[in-house]
Amino acid sequence: MHTTTDPLASVEQWDDYVQERYRPDRAEAEFRDYDHAPEGVRELYRQNHEFQTLAAVQGKERAYERLDRESTPMWEILERLNTLVDESDPDTDLPQIAHALQTAEKIREDGHPDWMQLVGLLHDSGKMLCFYGEPQWAVVGDTFPVGCAWSDSVVFTEFFEANADRRRPETQTATGVYEEGCGLDNVHMSWGHDEYIWMVLKDSKIPDEGLAMLRYHSFYSWHREGAYAHLMNDDDRRRLPWVKKFSGYDLYSKSDAPPEVEELKPYYQSLIAKYLPERVAW
Ligand code: FE
Ligand code: FE
């Protein structure tokens, strides 16, 4: 039995917060003081911004890049993510898979390509990190580059005061340990479910734009606020409109009626079969 019930409950709370904070129709000023953030979310960001140093991120990358934890059919992964939620709230209607399917279904309704629908289904599956014992600060939270100065448009910038990279001057300039225009592919992003699902699916048949949606969907300071332009290259400029487009579906999916999981399963299984290997390495 897993003992990660509490972290995932916090993950859910964070999801709700993000949905509320970044809704495309929300006026910027409304949220600028972050007063709306529940205490659990503030605490999550306090830890996230303290512990996401360049060295910590590189450590997580090394710990996960071999993908030697398990090899599992994708649908089983989606069901497992749901099991965790059920433990913390037995009455609820499958929140993780509901968000996954609702995001996918909205993308499908609007006639977007099948790979983008699949990205909608899978984009939060990196929360498998909860099962591997990761604390919530290493699973969720807005993501941002590490190894260079933090943009003011990252939420709760004041919590970066406690980050050890403050005392490493080479990480505190605009480009930091990187070069102007080097491309986000060459930048270390704070560790979490975005980076992990990208790692897991980067060698699948999902096209480049889809991989960018997976990797950067929580990178709000970039795709919503326009920060970090100095690190972008032409690939990033091409990917950005896709990531923005995806974000709208991610944020707006929650208001819908719960999806008919069993009814939708065959269709999404066919997309999984088209783009992913039978077993996915985690
Ligand atoms: Fe997410
Ligand atoms: Fe999401």
pLDDT digits (tens, 9 = 90+) for 220-248: 999 999 999 999 999 999 999 999 999 99
**What is the distance in A from the centroid of ligand 2 to the CA of 45?**
18
**H helices within 92-145, ranges in order?**
95-109, 114-122
Nearest ligand, CA 216: 1
Give CA separation, 196 vs 30, 190, 193, 235, 245, in Å.
32, 11, 5, 20, 21
**Residues paired with 71 in a beta bridge:** 281
**What is the distance in A from the centroid of ligand 2 to the CA of 70?**
23
Residue range 17-33: mean pLDDT, rounded: 61
d(CA 104, CA 171): 38
pLDDT category at 261 given cuts 50, 70, 90 is very high
| Count of domains observed in the chain | 1
Mean pLDDT over the full length of the chain: 89
In terms of pTM, does the model score above 0.85?
yes
Q: Please calculate the CA angle 161-8-265 and round it to the nearest 5 degrees.
A: 130
d(CA 216, CA 142): 9
Q: Specify whether the CB–CB gap between 193 and 140 falls below 8 A.
A: yes
**What is the distance in A from the centroid of ligand 2 to the CA of 124?**
5
Q: Which two tokens stand for residue 222?
A: 């970039």
Give CA separation, 256 vs 16, 31, 49, 96, 249, in Å.
14, 24, 33, 14, 12
**What is the distance in A from the centroid of ligand 1 to the CA of 224?**
15
Amino acid identity for residue 23 in this structure: R
Residue range 176-200: mean pLDDT, rounded: 98
Q: Specify whether the CB–CB gap between 219 and 189 falls below 8 A.
A: yes
Residue range 2-29: mean pLDDT, rounded: 61
**What is the distance in A from the centroid of ligand 1 to the CA of 142?**
9
Nearest ligand, CA 251: 2
Nearest ligand, CA 215: 1
**What is the distance in A from the centroid of ligand 2 to the CA of 66?**
25
- What is the distance of C-alpha 154 from the center of its chain? 15
Nearest ligand, CA 219: 1
- The three-class DSSP label of residue 144 is coil
Give CA separation, 84 vs 1, 250, 279, in Å.
10, 21, 21
**What is the distance in A from the centroid of ligand 1 to the CA of 169?**
31
Range of the domain at 132: 5-281
